Amino acid sequence: MSQKVFIFDTTLRDGEQVPGCKLNTQEKLALAVRLEELGVDILEAGFPVSSPGDFESVNQIAKTLKNTVVCGLSRAVQNDIEVAAAALKPAKRFRIHTGIGTSDLHIKYKFNATREEIIERAVSAVKLARNFTDDVEFYAEDAGRTDNEYLARVIEAVVKAGATTLNIPDTTGYCLPYQYQAKMEYLVNNVKNIDKAILSCHCHNDLGLATANSVAGVMGGARQIECTINGLGERAGNTALEEVVMVLNQHKDLGYYTNINTRLLNPISHEVAEIMRMGVQPNKAIVGGNAFSHSSGIHQDGFLKEAQTYEIIDPELVGAEASKIVLTARSGRSALAHRLQKLGYQYTRNDIDILYPTFLQLADKKKEVTQDDLVEIATSYSK
Ligand code: KIV
Ligand code: ZN
């Protein structure tokens, strides 16, 4: 039987931290409603103590969402936790996400503290948060660079204090997939009562490995992935929601499923790009403009014979426009015949052989041969 992986969306918190992506309360609320429709299990609505505007956004989202768990971020600081609890209070179900840096770099330079002091602060924060809700997530910031033995001690202490989800962030996107998987496995095998909580992946994309690391984390025992639409997030971004969801969806052999309505992935990606004024690169997996375009002759010929030769996902499944045959100087006769046929021109193989050199001459001059160009080629041929 396949197992559920919870999707924790942080587009409105880690995603919104991107310079230029800041949203006002109305914009955040509108996106939160769409993310609930998408089927995210937990929605991190913001960092309530960070500004009055963010408090208001989290509070409005908490009042509005119906089924999704609404989450607010806090540091392991009393006032942060109390303010987060106040903002989240109206929610049907809410989670406080609190935590502290655990790598030696963070302990020394950010906190000027000792490892034992960090454990004490982590435990106090979790205990305080438990006064407001029984759904408390703890993050061990920079867990990716925290040594496993110490990380296991921190995690065991916070589980004992009442944390129900354990976020193991690869904050700097440093880990390799096998290392991140091994980290999860180490925690599964070395933390007392780990089965009472859910391990969570939170991966950044500094080396382009966020999606691979999140999948590896799940294979190592995590059952929650923290991610954002279009992979937005600090620096090179976070794990892209659409990517991890489709990896688990297409690889049923792994044995996991999510609650995401995949048909909304492209529409919501476009909405996020527009509202955050942050376009999506054309070659982006699942939601990029070229994700379902075929332009070389070899690919086009195979695709036209059987789509699965060059497509592993039906675009309809992810709410994308139908696959496109783009005409360039690398296109072959079958692509040209296909596009002309779609415009209503019924040509024989011999006609196409005659038209093809004219097409290539034009294609060599232009980046792409358009529909208007095709009509012109066809019109001059029939004159
Ligand atoms: O990347 C990170 O470590 C974070 C934490 C605040 C969860 O975003
Ligand atoms: Zn992060």
Three-state secondary structure readout of the chain = CCEECEEEECCCCCHHHCCCCCCCHHHHHHHHHHHHHHCCCEEEEECHHHCHHHHHHHHHHHHHCCCCEEEEEEECCHHHHHHHHHHHCCCCCEEEEEEEECCHHHHHHHCCCCHHHHHHHHHHHHHHHHCCCCCEEEEEECHHHCCHHHHHHHHHHHHHHCCCEEEEEECCCCCCHHHHHHHHHHHHHHCCCHHHCEEEEEEECCCCCHHHHHHHHHHCCCCEEEEEHHHCCCCCCECEHHHHHHHHHHCHHHCEECCCCHHHHHHHHHHHHHHCCCCCCCCCCCCCCCCCEECCHHHHHHHHHCHHHCCCCCHHHHCCCCCEECECCCCCHHHHHHHHHHCCCCCCHHHHHHHHHHHHHHHHHCCCECHHHHHHHHHHHHC
- 299 Cα to the center of ligand 2, angstroms: 38
Check residues 1 and 202 and name the one with the higher pLDDT: 202
| Nearest ligand 1 atom to alpha carbon 73 | 6
For ligand 1, atom 1, name the residue with the nearest CA: 171
- 338 Cα to the center of ligand 2, angstroms: 46
| Nearest ligand 1 atom to alpha carbon 14 | 8
| Nearest ligand 1 atom to alpha carbon 139 | 7
Ligand number nearest CA of 171 is: 1
Q: Which residues line ligand 1 (CB under 6 A)?
A: 14, 139, 141, 167, 169, 171, 202, 204
- 314 Cα to the center of ligand 1, angstroms: 34
| Nearest ligand 1 atom to alpha carbon 141 | 3
Q: What is the pTM of this model?
A: 0.96
Confidence at 275, pLDDT banded by 50, 70, 90: very high
For ligand 1, atom 8, name the residue with the nearest CA: 14
Tell me what the pLDDT averaged over the chain comes to: 97
Mutate to test the pocket of ligand 1, among 44, 75, 139, 172 (most ligand atoms within 8 A of CB): 139
At 106-142, the pLDDT tens digits run: 999 999 999 999 999 999 999 999 999 999 999 999 9
For ligand 1, atom 7, name the residue with the nearest CA: 139
Residue ranges of domains in the chain, CATH in brackets:
3-275 (3.20.20.70), 293-382 (no CATH)
Confidence at 1, pLDDT banded by 50, 70, 90: confident
Confidence at 183, pLDDT banded by 50, 70, 90: very high
For ligand 1, atom 2, name the residue with the nearest CA: 171
Confidence at 382, pLDDT banded by 50, 70, 90: confident
- Which whole number is the average pLDDT over 90-107? 98
- Contact residues for 81 (Cβ-Cβ < 8 A; gap 6+): 74, 96, 98, 125, 128, 129, 132
For ligand 1, atom 5, name the residue with the nearest CA: 141
Q: Return the bridge partners of 37, or none.
A: none
- Which whole number is the average pLDDT over 321-326? 97
- 184 Cα to the center of ligand 2, angstroms: 17
Q: Return the bridge partners of 100, or none.
A: 140
- 48 Cα to the center of ligand 1, angstroms: 15
pLDDT, residue 383, reads: 60
At 14-61, the pLDDT tens digits run: 999 999 999 999 999 999 999 999 999 999 999 999 999 999 999 999
- 108 Cα to the center of ligand 1, angstroms: 18
- Contact residues for 30 (Cβ-Cβ < 8 A; gap 6+): 275
